[in-house]
Chain A
């Protein structure tokens, strides 16, 4: 298909690389270097979107990231992406795009009926209309509105592309690579400072890519190329095209999004689609340029109405004549350059309608020139077909045209200067809001500072770039900028055209009109902040880049205030939308957080173990004999074999902390409830640790390996928290204590070998010189030994299961080999591996507290462990745990619970009530904390807190579970269900 609007020569496109693409199913051609918008215009596609609320036909307004109208859905399937601004979407071969927010088609959109109802859709409409009945809001109104109004559809599939996060560092970050940015980068870089130059577009150059300018004795474009070449040759410069600096954060941190592969159909293998950067910059020069302002007149949203600067961009950069017969509507001298470019490109300028009666600039020869005139309305529907002009003398004329180029002055892109609260300040001289207080370390150059002339921007950039480097101690010098061709910057903005009959749009993307703002003012929403929220002006995905200023002016006019008095809302990050995928980067799916594997993991996998995640760890839950064996069956078998023969369990995940120093005993006495300083070398003691508030935070054992060397264990879940607590205690509370401690959790692979044959198994592994007899190595003994021909190991005779049990630790590298060796050694005794289910069941059978009980809401007294709190010394939490309310006899206390019917599957979380008592807070006796099926008792059993439970052993109460809807009679009993004398431990 021929590109009817393509100019025969020129432009920064590669005519030897034609590209095919589809828009709404129809095939077109463009060239490498095109954006989707420029390629659509080359093919005279003017209608590309429907508006948000009224479904009005919309075309392409701009040529940059500020585009409010021409949003499309790009790609398909899993790569589908809504709300892509076609003005910055680089064309690639095979690109597929769809228009959005229309049904059944872009040309014939039923939603356009909303336009007829527009009186009802004015500002505040939703709030007023859908007030009642309140319940209707969520169920009826909101879904209706959401369907009728909106942008693109969200993708329905998981994104198949990869995203990355990365960090970058520099001395000077230059934001924007137009003339100001390039000069700033060069001046800073020549001094040796590390410079990052980022620009949202694929090419450096900014407006110099779009306007025919002269710098020194070369064209603007050649100057860009020479400057870029020098920057690229410097090792201290990093050029980052296709990178938007989207946020300015504290301490010189900038957020950046690099669109690594948005310009190709699919990213090359191993490359991400996008990369989010956190850039640490000591200084920043904001050279983000400015955004041209539209005029507010009747039907100013019709396709074919475009910013004058955009028109020049399409002509000069993309060699596309957007429309052929153009009416130029201007309040600024630079529109006369638009006229010249249009004529040079073979277009026809139907007239220049200048709102300034006193404009001194002259129009090109033979072009009708109306000073002091205005466009009242655009005619046409899916494209402009003419404009209605009001001349200076009040006469009305109809002018034939198929496009309008608007120039109403520029708004500096101050956005990033606001990110830390800086409020832009109105400047009467340049008729624009200028940066207020930029974030520390940031200076603003060129058009972003309201210095619109090319020469000024070059001077600015060079001076600020050099100053930034200079402040950091580099010997930087501003580069004297060459002369530039003359230009005229005179302008006097016209904020709105009055007495238009058509709708006059202020915010194109959110369909906010001049009358909406007047309405807001009439209804009392006169603060800019209130007006913004009432009308939604500036709240769309473009943040009102082309809209806000006219809105503020109209509000000022309506309320009789000047622009400075009205003020402006400020901008938040991000400057342009950032996909969530880029912010997540690598951290998706299983990479969301680390997965820690135990030393025996690979072996357990080979055994067919079923795993469960406990914190970050993957631990074996149970070891099914065959696939069909469920957890209950497998757990019962593991418990029975362990209690009758022997079992092995990986306990490496428990936190281990190595303590050394002469004050360790004192330190432990203060953090534990019990006394540890008296512990004999070669012994282990159980310890309970409270928080300052007197509630238990963790438990574990501590072994005294030698006079000044101890080893503490913590729960798996509590390891990190306890370490932090101990660091606090040492560094802040008692820095005078001479201790050194460090985590050795990962140094040691540790296995629990439990059951009547535990010693028999161990004897086959422990080197012969170590006496393993009950006398030589009794219950609660510990020591350093060697196993398997000299491997250093630590042995602890401690038991969580209540059986004769040992925990044996070896350096982690031997962990995999050791579990295999234990299984082999245990073969003759019928050893079984056991998982978390069996571990938990056995500890409940023994009435040991664990996670369910150590929930941060229980005191030692609640857990029946009051005797573990030494009365001979103080410790963290002691006084707070003895507050009267904590010792109140009615406070529920730890007991065992047995259902009257052994098969009744009692549940954790059930609340206890006396028989006949109504379920109420006053009658609540406590709750169930842990339950298990006990293979030894052939019954479900539980541990819980019951009011005056110890005095009520033998009583029957009700366990009521309102969540699961069950209720069982349970008998209160001693929490130690199995081997209460502990004979098995000491065997």
Chain B
């Protein structure tokens, strides 16, 4: 039997069909083209195996979202609406199906991991997910891909201490909403400070409530923060926290919009910081989850640096 590739990437040409209405919308199909072009030109390509996703069943989507939202989303696109609730959330006729396919990538990945066919899977999907809430879309996101994956991992494979680590420049309000009142799931997010950045949530003193008290760690950075501050948080704050929590599954909400060239945030990361992130996260997986790791693409909008940033993260995951 052929040994599994060090990294499996789940991607599908159908993700390009989610049409956000033209070139002025940052969450464009060209994002995935730019990523694929950088990966195709990378010497990491030999260590990567590509797979297609299965669409998520309604059963799994409703672990995270209301039936009402699923009906409303489907009906909105079929009746030809161009956006839902807010002009940020642009849709086309195919958007519901493509969002199901984006949410399904995480589930396909988890089956791969649990069946021992691979140890590290990266889902290159769109639309992104971490802003999507239980009952409504938000900030370009329709289904919360990371949370749907977490519920699948918990319910189908019995994971007890699941971690979502989010390094997108924006706080994942939808992930926090899903996790903040429960034990057994943890959310750590490094993002631009909510006083300066969308979506205006993710203050450092939000730690979860009730049974979820202590399960949320928000690490807001001021505009202009750079690689060194990320490095410090990884070593001084996040790693000690993970040692305490001992997660048994790790999902990464991998967003690349904190790059200094990306004007969707005021953060000032270099391309190289994504290598550091990849390497560090791979280290957590080796230490806490027998190497099992699931990464899911979130934001990243500046096409001139997005591909190289993702390639850098992949290189870090591979330790190359």
- A and B co-occur in one complex: no
